[in-house]
Amino acid sequence: MTREELYDIARGLQEQFEDKAQEVCQTVYDFAELGLQEYKSSAYLKQELAALGFRVSENSGGLPTAFMAEYGEGHPKVAFLAEYDALPGYGPDHDQNGHACGHNWIAANCFGACQILKEMYDQGLFTGTIVYAGTPAEESVGGKINMVEAGCFDDCDLAMQIHIGKGDDSELGAQYLAMDSLLFTYHGLSSHAAGAPERGINALDACYLTFNGVNALRQHVTPDTRIHGIITNGGLAPNVVPALAQSKWYVRAADRAYVNELVEKVINCAKGGALMAGATVDYEFVENGFDNLKSQPELISVFGECFKAAGVPAEHVKTSLREPSGSSDVGNVSWACPTVGSNMGIGNQDGASCHEEVFLPNCTGPVGFAGLKKAILAQTFFALEAYTDPALQQKLSEIKARLTEERKAIAGQSRVHVTVL
Ligand SMILES: [Zn+2]
Ligand SMILES: [Zn+2]
């Protein structure tokens, strides 16, 4: 059977199953649960996959809302990296959760691809294993990281994700940054801020002096570095010298080893701030350590052709590597097995992008659904290439062998991953 014949069968099945994928997209959108609280979303997805005949294993990586669902046997084993956590801070009072990053759309595009591939597998069109990876809390602790640590992807030959993107362009050369998160807690001594200030030790001074130190550090870091912090506790009343203050930081750069150097420097800024204020400081890593995405240009070019075959105009398929920006736990998966992370522009013309309140309506409804169809097909085609093209299979096994060596080389560099339970 030719590639075009295979693709045409997939296109027919996509039409047949379109309503189901849209239902998944809408249902997860309506649940809008935050990371590690996606109980309804994960239960619903597990139930739908089990109904298709997928074997579901729960609590992957020790996370109650993580799961792996598999269909078929043996290799190639292709994993779709589904997400379903929402973001806080939307609605008129900024107190509602919303799928402003479109993770409901990712859950649905993975589901759509799995449903089509299951049918084609049953028709005897290829052999191998189809994997729907239910990965929670991308926006916070990075659930994939626990799953990688637990070996969930060690046996996979290819992993992929299509994230929702704005406008017309689809970007396949995502460059996610390695990242660590730090929480500093400063300890001082309370006193009357006006009546007896000389008796107080101001923990908030130590906190903002850390910001001053980091701002001085910015001149002396590589351009890919991103260091950004917030004060999460700055005292309780202006007339009481704060005895306790806290700041939370993300430290990012293109390379894991460099992030580790930066983290030491940021810790020194906090120690310096504490010393100046006469306070003390301690710190902890409050979220998992995100690793940078290991880009695979040979796979990106194949995936790019699949985007085009799925109906994305060629001039909007961008396969060159982008400037590094943001971080994703897809990065950690990319060190365990050959992985492509991508963004698909859904063609919204309102200028809105992820995390904005005005982007919310694009993650479902007519605009989101039009993009959903293309994302389902692009992933299905890419998986079909992996299942049926011996040359690509050879390439995948070479990349995997290379990764095994490279992973050894960075072993121990990643932060000890925090226990999130
Ligand atoms: Zn996001
Ligand atoms: Zn996202």
Structure token digits, residue 60: 């992957």
SS3 string, the chain, reads CCHHHHHHHHHHHHHHHHHHHHHHHHHHHHHCCECCCCHHHHHHHHHHHHHHCCEEEECHHHCCCCEEEEEEECCCEEEEEECCCEEEEECCCCCEEECCCCHHHHHHHHHHHHHHHHHHHHCCCCCEEEEEEECCCCCCCCHHHHHHHCCCCCCCCEEEEEEEECCCCEEEECCCCEEEEEEEEEECECCECCCCHHHCECHHHHHHHHHHHHHHHHHHCCCCCEEEEEEEECCCCCCECCCEEEEEEEEEECCHHHHHHHHHHHHHHHHHHHHHHCCEEEEEECCCCECCCCCCHHHHHHHHHHHHHCCCCHHHEEEEECCCCCCCCHHHHCCCCCEEEEEEECCCCCCCCCCCHHHHHHHCHHHHHHHHHHHHHHHHHHHHHHHHCHHHHHHHHHHHHHHHHHHHHHCCCCCCCCCCC
Alpha carbon of 338 to ligand 2 centroid (Å): 20
Say how many Å lie between the CA of residue 326 and the centre of ligand 1: 9
Peptide bond into 76 cis (omega under 30): yes
Hey, do 3-176+291-410 and 178-285 end up sharing a CATH topology, with the first three levels equal?
no
Q: Which two tokens stand for residue 182?
A: 């730090």
- C-alpha 173 – ligand 1 centre gap (Å): 17
CA of 269 to the centre of ligand 1 (A): 28
| CATH for the stretch 178-285 | 3.30.70.360
Average pLDDT over residues 29-37: 98
Q: How is the chain split into domains, by residue range? A: 3-176+291-410, 178-285
State the pTM of this model. 0.92
pLDDT at 421: 44
Percent of the chain at pLDDT > 70 equals: 98
Expressed in angstroms and rounded, the spacing between residue 267 Cα and the centre of ligand 2 is 28
Positive/negative CA dihedral, 254, 170, 18, 356: positive
Q: How many A from CA of 144 to the centre of ligand 1?
A: 14
Q: Closest-lying ligand to the alpha carbon of 139?
A: 1
Phi, psi of 228 (to 5 degrees): -145, 135
Tell me what pLDDT residue 124 has. 98
CA of 355 to the centre of ligand 1 (A): 6
Residues around the ion ligand 2 (C-beta < 5 A): 101
> Which CATH entry fits the domain spanning 3-176+291-410: 3.30.1330.90, 3.30.70.260, 3.30.70.2610, 3.40.630.10?
3.40.630.10
Residue 419 has pLDDT above 80, yes or no: no
Ranges 18-32, 60-74, 313-327: which has the least confidence:
313-327
417 Cα–ligand 1 center, Å: 21
Ligand 2 centroid to residue 227 C-alpha, Å: 20
Calculate mean pLDDT across residues 259-288: 95
How far is 105 from 249, CA to CA, in rounded Å? 29
pLDDT at 142 over 90: yes
**118 CA to middle of ligand 2, Å?**
26
pLDDT at residue 410, as a whole number: 73
pLDDT tens digits, one per residue of 93-112: 999 999 999 999 999 999 99
Q: So what's the pLDDT on residue 417?
A: 57
Tell me which ligand sits closest to the C-alpha of residue 343.
2
Closest ligand to residue 102's CA: 2
Q: Which ligand is nearest to the CA of 105?
A: 2
Q: Residues lining ligand 1 (ion), CB within 5 A?
A: 101
Model confidence at 257, pLDDT cuts 50, 70, 90, reads confident
Q: In the numeric block, which tokens belong to residue 285?
A: 């890593």
Q: What is the pLDDT of residue 418?
A: 54
Name which of 93-97, 200-204, 415-419 the model is least confident about. Answer: 415-419
Measure 61 CA to ligand 1 centroid, in angstroms. 21
